[in-house]
Amino acid sequence: MNAPTAGLLGALFGAALTATAFLLLAPTPAVPGDRATPATADRAPDTPPAPALPAADLAAENALLKARLAKVEAQVDQVVAGVGQLSALKAQRATLAAELEAAKATAAQEAEARRDTEGEPLPFPADLPAEFRQEGLRAALAQALADSGLDATVDAVDCSEFPCIAYGHAQRAWDDREALDAAFRDFTGALGRRWPEADHQHHTSVWAGKGTLSDGSTVKRTSFGLAVYPKGFADGQAGDLRKRLRFRQQQYNEATAD
C-alpha cells in the first residue's frame, strides 16, 4: 500500500470514531410509551439544610412554649373548677327547692290550723248602713245602756273587720250568774228595741275581769264584747263568723289585760 492510500484510510477511520463518540454522548429522543431512564427523570432540586439556631434562641423559644402551655393548663383548670362549682350549685339549688316545698307545706298546714281556730276575716260590706258602723254603733249602745239602767261603759269599738265589735265593762262584778244574765238581757233587749229582731243579729260575750283604779288598787268588774250587724250580711258564714268573733275578743282581752 502506498503512502497516499494509507493516509486516506487513516483519515476515514478517525472520522468514524469521532461520529461514534458523538452519537454515544447525544441524548436519546423520548419515545411515546417508554419510561424515562433514571438519568433523564425529573426530580426536585435539592434543598439546602436550614442553618442551626443559636442556643440562646432555642432557650427563648422553649421558654415561650412552656409559658403558652402553662396558660392553656390554667384555662383547663378553670374549666374543670367551673364544672365542679356548677355541680355544687345544682345540688344546692335542689336542696333549697326541697326545703322551700317543705316550708310551703308547713305554712299551708299552719294556715289551715289557724282557720280552724281563728276563722277567716270577713270583708267589710261597702253598703253596710251607718248605724252598724263605729259612730252609729256607739250611739246605739249608749242609748241601750241608758234605757236598761246598766252601769257600764263602752271602752272601744273595733271596726277593723266585719262586724264591728263593741268592748266595754260594767262597774261591778256579779257573784250570781242569774243576776248577771238578767242585767245583760235588759241591756240587749233595749238594743233590740232600736233594731227589731227581724232586722239584726247580735253576739254577746260576758266575762269576769278586773280593773285598776287611779290609786293603783284593783277591783273586780265584768267585761263584755258585743257584735251587732244586720241580717243577711253574713249568710252562709256563721261558723267562720263565730270563730272570728271569739278570736278577736281573745286578742282584745290579751292586749288590754292588766
- Res 43: pLDDT: 57
- Between 103 and 198, name the one with better pLDDT: 103
Q: Average model confidence (pLDDT) for the chain?
A: 76
Instruction: Give the pTM.
Output: 0.57
Cβ–Cβ < 8 Å for 173, 222 = yes
* Distance, CA of 134 to CA of 191 (rounded, Å): 15
For the segment 73-95, the average pLDDT, to the nearest whole number, is: 82
Q: Given pLDDT bands bounded at 50, 70 and 90, which one contains residue 13?
A: very low
Quote the pLDDT of residue 59.
Answer: 81
Give CA separation, 188 vs 15, 127, 199, 207, in Å.
166, 25, 14, 16
**Given this model, what pLDDT does residue 93 score?**
86
User: pLDDT per residue over 142-169, tens digit each?
Assistant: 999 999 998 899 999 999 999 999 999 8
More confident residue, 84 or 46: 84
* Mean of pLDDT values over 225-250: 84
Percent of the chain with pLDDT over 70: 73
CA-based max dimension of the chain: 194
**C-alpha distances in Å from residue 33, one per residue of 1, 39, 126, 181:** 52, 17, 115, 139
Give the pLDDT score at 159. Answer: 92
Whether 120 shows a pLDDT value over 50: the answer reads yes
With 60 as the cut, is the pLDDT of residue 87 above it? yes
Q: Is the dihedral of CA 52, 55, 57, 59 positive or negative?
A: positive
**Lowest model confidence (mean pLDDT) among 6-15, 77-86, 197-206:** 6-15
The answer to whether 58 and 66 have CB atoms below 8 angstroms apart is no
Judge whether 132 and 228 are in contact, CB under 8 Å. yes
Q: Quick one: which of 101, 102, 80, 82 has its CA closest to 90?
A: 82
pLDDT of residue 210: 66
